[in-house]
Structure 1
Amino acid sequence: MAQRNVWGYRAVFALLSFVILFFALLPFGRSDGGVPGPDLMLCLACAWILRRPDYAPIWLLVPLVLLDDALLMRPLGVWTMVVMLATEYLRRRVDHTEAQTFSSEILIVSGLIAGTFVANHLVMLLLLAQTPPLIGQALHALVTIVFYPLTAIFSQLIGVRRLAPGELDSLGTRA
């Protein structure tokens, strides 16, 4: 029964990722001088991994972000690699975050989001790829940070909650 529940949440994660990607592809008429939208895929991945890492395994996350790279015409694999490293860092911290407050979670994820955007920019510079303006990237990171708490609250409302102390995940481990 628990294994079926995990697969249901994995399907919900994939469905939400596809919905985010669908809306990212729609031409909403954002002008070049406007504020960029948030990276909701990163927000969703961080929120779910901090709460239930077994609901967003790496083998599900990487293809979704890679598809995101391909369809949004970003350099293939660069953002995927950065997001994979960031989410794996969070996955390793799950045991340390079970007793932390929501505000400290937001601070940790905000720093991680800022770090992912900086790392992505640095990798793009090292690869001599065309990089977007730094101020645009900073705004994109800021908007993503602002949207993280909303994504975390939404995740909590649909049932993605942290494990209680002593509770085991679907694999029979602590997290």
Structure 2
Amino acid sequence: MRPRSLSRRAVLAGGAAAAALSGCGASDVPQPTPTPAEDPERVLLRQLIADKEHTIALYSTLIAAGQTKLTPFRDRHQAHLVELRKRLPGGSQTATPAPSSPTGSAAPAPSSQTAAPAPKMSLSRLRDAERRSAALRVRQLASASPPLAQLIASIGACEAAHALALPRSA
């Protein structure tokens, strides 16, 4: 009798389930609020795009601080973002990233209020964000069409691999 092989979706679901059981929560990225008549897949695409933009910003912060070895990781997220935007007719309707400074980091937005300082970005926080994102992708598969589910599964697998492959120290 030949052993049955697992599908990619089953492998991704198992990995994300293990990550979820290890304490990974929902992503800390603000999610767009759907309007009552909005297409659920369009809402999902906007959520995915917002999450990718946030992840790219996290990587860019560390890269601007001198951790250039993270550039290939960020570039993979940028490729995901391009593919997601192609699937959303009429644009992403998410926040436009702040203009970049010459170092590649986002320029700070002017504010009349004093904002709480952002937590220090670290490889550990980045690794945790990748784990949370990979776990979230499994839950997002249920509401996606088959072609979008394939893309989401691939993105989740990449995020799970990033969580394992990120350097342990700077």
Which structure has more helix as a fraction of its residues?
A: 1
Fold match by TM threshold 0.5: no
**Relative contact order (alpha carbons < 8 A, sep ≥ 6): 1 or 2 greater?**
1
- If you compute each CA radius of gyration, which structure gives the higher value, 1 or 2? 2
- Structure-2-length-normalised TM-score: 0.30
- Structure-1-length-normalised TM-score: 0.29
